[in-house]
Amino acid sequence: MCARGLVAVTHLDEIRVGVRRVENFAAVMGEAPTRAALRTAASLKRRLDGRVLWNVNSTAVGGGVAEMLRPLLAFSRGAGIDTRWMVLRGNPAFFRVTKRLHHALHGSAGDGSPLGEQARAIYEKTLSGAALELVARVKRGDVVLLHDPQTAGLAPALQRAGAHVIWRCHVGDHARNDQVERGWTFLFPYLKEVPAFVFSRESYVPSYCDHGKSHVIQPSIDAFSPKNQELDLDTVRCILADVGLVEGPPPPGAACTFRREDDTPGRVERRADVVRHGRAPSWETPLVVQVSRWDLLKDPIGVMLGFATLLESGNAHGAELVLAGPDVLAVADDPEGAEVYDRVVAAWRTLPEMVRARVHLACLPTADVEENAAIVNALQRHATVVVQKSLQEGFGLTVTEAMWKGRPVVASAVGGIQDQIEDGVHGLLLADPGDRRAFASALQRLLEDGELARRIGAAARERVRERFLGMRHLLQYARLFEILQL
Ligand code: UDP
């Protein structure tokens, strides 16, 4: 999809930014807030006065940052602001160092490499080439948003060239240990003179950046994307029956279609690879769903065992569990995912037969990212309860996505999930993610009390409308530019 949008240069690729009209928000935010946003956009456009707004990160597809940038930059361009998106081309050695940095900022040792002078030399070599190319294009007064540790080392050269640099760190953890210290010691020399930092949570702001220069802007989801766009019930049923997640046949006359990012029609055609004992759940079966990468921090085995506790208590109200994640066989560069998936399947095999018959492990096709997103969309919409029993979580977009679909969510009170859900109001929080009984009893409450589930689902959707859609995100950027007098 992106290949058409790439203009190759040596150390950077320019990604084509689409154009979306801010007016589109009226459909989800209402007329008056959208008019106010249009006024803000017009004043930002005047303020920038033809200067370019650059964004630099390290991937155009896959990952939450790219998923957020694509729509936000398109709206910015739609507001008449000259918005450009550059993606770093690193080599494997560079990405090994930046992955190590990523782990360090999360408080862990990653591959255990020292993050010393050799790592710094690798990091600077890639970035000095990219900086030369950027500086040749960026004009004095332009605004450059650098995203994540991969791009921090570009800041000094850009500042010397007269650009206004903002560094946004999407990575975060409240942990403060030796590893975190190491990560910041590595990065901070590049960031010393940067006038503004953006973090996703207050508690993620490190002491290095905590000098009145840090701002909090939370992530957002795109209400119009294949992942979150409205799908009617027949379409949901058609998609889920066709991929093999609910029993067929699809309703007569229904089509498994969705709208692609570029507004052309898309169709779900591939099947999921499902491990199950017996049949797919019927359309009427209440589903408990967790959608996640196959990662132990998402606690997939704990979800199964907690669900088994619920089944054993006899209070499951006929519910079945779907654990869904990306097709691990297709993701050649994620050996960790395949390994975790194998462990989940092995744990599933040890479950009693009556539990196995109600737990479905689904690998969703990933060959077409937008098709994958439409399947996730349908599955989240069909879920009776969505769960996210993570042991650790930066923000937890799957929670936001489910809340936007009006689903009641049971999630761990960790990381950014706590900013999204007020316990008992917009979802149910698990104070201790490892407490299987509490998990089972939260599920039971929502499965047996339809009114509670409906009330929580409706409050969840409102919460996302108010706080976690793109318009709020864009307005916060506009406000930040105003504060910085750009
Ligand atoms: N996701 C997806 N397909 C899958 C599994 C996950 O598109 O098969 C998406 C999910 O919908 C969400 C993102 O991957 O948008 C995961 O983001 P989150 O913040 O929940 O967790 P992360 O993976 O960043 O730790």
Q: What is the pLDDT of residue 110?
A: 86
Contact indicator for 405, 461 with CB cutoff of 8 Å? yes
User: Does the CB atom of residue 326 touch ligand 1 within 6 A?
Assistant: yes
User: Does the CB atom of residue 395 touch ligand 1 within 6 A?
Assistant: yes
Q: What is the pLDDT of residue 2?
A: 36
Ligand 1 atom with minimal separation from the 219 CA: 19
Among residues 460, 466, 468, the alpha carbon closest in space to that of 422 is found at 460
- As a whole number of angstroms, the distance between CA 244 and CA 258 comes to 18
DSSP designation for 214: E
Q: What is the pLDDT of residue 334?
A: 57
For residue 409, the surrounding DSSP H or E stretch is strand 409-412
* Cα–ligand 1 centroid distance for 410 (angstroms): 16
Nearest CA to ligand 1 atom 6: 292
From 291, 340, 361, 371, the mutation candidate for ligand 1 (largest count of ligand atoms within 8 A of CB) is 291
Q: What is the pLDDT of residue 282?
A: 98
User: Does the CB atom of residue 68 touch ligand 1 within 6 A?
Assistant: no
pTM for this structure? Answer: 0.91
- Segment 443-460, tens digit of pLDDT: 999 999 999 999 999 999
Contact indicator for 125, 89 with CB cutoff of 8 Å? no
Q: What is the pLDDT of residue 7?
A: 47
Q: Show Cβ contacts of residue 445 under 8 Å, excluding neighbours closer than 6 positions.
A: 428, 452
* Cα–ligand 1 centroid distance for 11 (angstroms): 28
User: Does the CB atom of residue 372 touch ligand 1 within 6 A?
Assistant: yes
User: Does the CB atom of residue 76 touch ligand 1 within 6 A?
Assistant: no
From 292, 303, 401, 468, the mutation candidate for ligand 1 (largest count of ligand atoms within 8 A of CB) is 292
- As a whole number of angstroms, the distance between CA 390 and CA 376 comes to 18
Residue 136, classified by CB atoms within 10 Å of its CB into exposed (0-12), middle (13-18) or buried (19+), is exposed
- As a whole number of angstroms, the distance between CA 369 and CA 264 comes to 15
User: Does the CB atom of residue 362 touch ligand 1 within 6 A?
Assistant: no
Tell me the pLDDT of the chain (486 aa) as tens digits: 333 444 444 899 999 999 999 999 999 999 999 999 999 999 999 999 999 999 999 988 777 888 899 999 999 999 999 999 999 998 999 999 998 999 899 888 988 999 999 999 999 999 999 999 999 999 999 999 999 999 999 999 999 999 999 999 998 888 789 999 999 999 999 999 999 999 999 999 998 887 789 999 999 999 999 999 999 999 999 999 999 999 989 999 999 999 998 899 999 999 999 999 999 999 999 999 999 989 999 999 999 999 999 999 999 999 999 999 999 876 555 567 899 999 999 999 999 999 999 999 999 999 998 999 999 999 999 999 999 999 989 899 999 999 999 999 999 999 999 999 999 999 999 999 999 999 999 999 999 999 999 999 999 999 999 999 999 999 999 999 999 999
CA angle 152, 153, 156 (to 5 degrees): 105
Nearest CA to ligand 1 atom 21: 396
Nearest CA to ligand 1 atom 10: 398
User: Does the CB atom of residue 416 touch ligand 1 within 6 A?
Assistant: no
- As a whole number of angstroms, the distance between CA 277 and CA 47 comes to 61
Strands of the 12-15 sheet, one edge to the other = 7-8, 12-15, 83-88, 53-57, 143-147, 164-169, 196-199, 214-216
* Cα–ligand 1 centroid distance for 274 (angstroms): 18
From 225, 296, 344, 397, the mutation candidate for ligand 1 (largest count of ligand atoms within 8 A of CB) is 397
* Cα–ligand 1 centroid distance for 137 (angstroms): 34
User: Does the CB atom of residue 373 touch ligand 1 within 6 A?
Assistant: yes
Task: Read off φ and ψ for residue 350, nearest 5 degrees.
Answer: -85, -5
* Cα–ligand 1 centroid distance for 292 (angstroms): 5
- As a whole number of angstroms, the distance between CA 185 and CA 198 comes to 18
* Cα–ligand 1 centroid distance for 63 (angstroms): 8
Nearest CA to ligand 1 atom 17: 397
